């Protein structure tokens, strides 16, 4: 059993999860694991995972849990996670959160910090429209926000009940948000 740092980035699309997760990973020297990135790269390389995930990602729907659970199990046991890990985009629903909790009990004593980046909807939409990713069209953005409210927001409650949720104001400068994060994670 080893004690690792575990950080989970929650918060809606466009809230700055990816950027902040990457910065924190650099400071803490632990890997930034983005399920969205893993899926986009699988799609670009037309791997079996990519072929199965493609239509879901393009439509802004969540890919089925079955495509991600084994992948997360394996990724969190790779050597580079010895000191810890940052998850960006996982868990996205309560079933994934329950899976992760069981997984962590199995092989580490990590109690992760869950971070919710709070950003007003109008700001999210504006940021997403200017990001220019392939799944960032007006229609898909609206749908992704809906999916977030329905499936991912309940995950906030899941971590709140476990006293592990930290909500921070994500509508500030990059550095201010990073400072709040480092204060929470404690390095
Ligand atoms: P992201 O880069 O985190 O915004 O993710 C982009 C897309 O990948 C999402 O809109 C989903 O289609 C898919 N995705 C990423 N993470 C997950 C997850 N944990 N569960 C299901 N689908 C996911």
DSSP secondary-structure letter at 119? -
Verify whether ligand 1 is closer than 6 Å to residue 56 (CB atom): yes
In whole angstroms, what is the distance from residue 39 CA to residue 148 CA? 18
For the stretch 104-152, pLDDT in tens is: 999 877 889 999 999 999 999 999 999 888 888 999 999 999 999 999 9
Q: Which long-range contacts (CB under 8 A, 24 or more apart) does 120-123 make?
A: 120/171, 121/12, 121/145, 123/14, 123/171
pLDDT for the residue 187 = 58
**Residues 45-55, mean pLDDT to the nearest whole number:** 98
Verify whether ligand 1 is closer than 6 Å to residue 89 (CB atom): yes
pLDDT for the residue 93 = 98
Q: Is pLDDT at 1 greater than 90 in this prediction?
A: no
**Residues 155-183, mean pLDDT to the nearest whole number:** 97
Ligand 1 mean position, distance from CA 149 (Å): 14
Residue in 15, 34, 36 to alter for ligand 1 test, most ligand atoms within 8 A of Cβ: 36
For the stretch 74-109, pLDDT in tens is: 999 999 999 999 999 999 999 999 999 999 999 877
Q: How confident is the model at residue 9 (pLDDT cuts 50, 70, 90)?
A: very high
Verify whether ligand 1 is closer than 6 Å to residue 12 (CB atom): no
Residue in 21, 92, 99 to alter for ligand 1 test, most ligand atoms within 8 A of Cβ: 92
Give the CA dihedral 160, 156, 39, 20, nearest 10 degrees: -80
Residue in 9, 22, 63 to alter for ligand 1 test, most ligand atoms within 8 A of Cβ: 63
Chain length of the chain: 187
Q: Which atom of ligand 1 is nearest to the CA of 60?
A: 10
Peptide bond connecting 129 to the previous residue in cis, omega within 30 degrees of 0: no
Mean per-residue pLDDT over the chain, rounded: 94
Verify whether ligand 1 is closer than 6 Å to residue 6 (CB atom): no
Q: Is pLDDT at 23 greater than 70 in this prediction?
A: yes
Q: Which atom of ligand 1 is nearest to the CA of 35?
A: 16
Ligand 1 mean position, distance from CA 93 (Å): 11
**Residues 2-7, mean pLDDT to the nearest whole number:** 85
Closest CA to 164 of 99, 123, 115: 115
Tell me the percentage of the chain whose pLDDT exceeds 90. Answer: 90
For the stretch 151-167, pLDDT in tens is: 999 999 999 999 999 99
Verify whether ligand 1 is closer than 6 Å to residue 100 (CB atom): no
pTM (two decimals): 0.95
Dihedral over Cα of 154, 156, 161, 162: its sign: positive
């Amino acid at each position: 059993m080893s004690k690792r740092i575990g950080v989970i980035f929650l918060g809606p699309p466009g809230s700055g999860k990816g950027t902040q997760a990457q910065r924190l990973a650099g400071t803490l020297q632990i890997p930034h694991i983005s399920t969205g990135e893993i899926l986009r790269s699988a799609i670009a390389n037309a791997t079996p995972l990519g072929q199965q995930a493609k239509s879901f990602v393009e439509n802004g729907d969540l890919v089925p849990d079955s495509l991600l659970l084994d992948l997360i199990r394996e990724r969190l046991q790779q050597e580079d996670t010895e000191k810890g890990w940052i998850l960006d985009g996982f868990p996205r629903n309560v079933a994934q959160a329950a899976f992760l909790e069981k997984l962590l009990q199995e092989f580490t004593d990590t109690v992760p910090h869950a971070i919710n980046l709070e950003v007003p909807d109008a700001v999210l939409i504006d940021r997403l429209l200017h990001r220019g990713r392939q799944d960032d069209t007006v229609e898909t953005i609206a749908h992704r926000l809906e999916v977030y409210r329905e499936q991912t927001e309940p995950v906030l409650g899941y971590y709140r009940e476990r006293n592990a949720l930290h909500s921070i104001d994500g509508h500030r400068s990059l550095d201010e948000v990073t400072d709040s994060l480092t204060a929470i994670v404690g390095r």
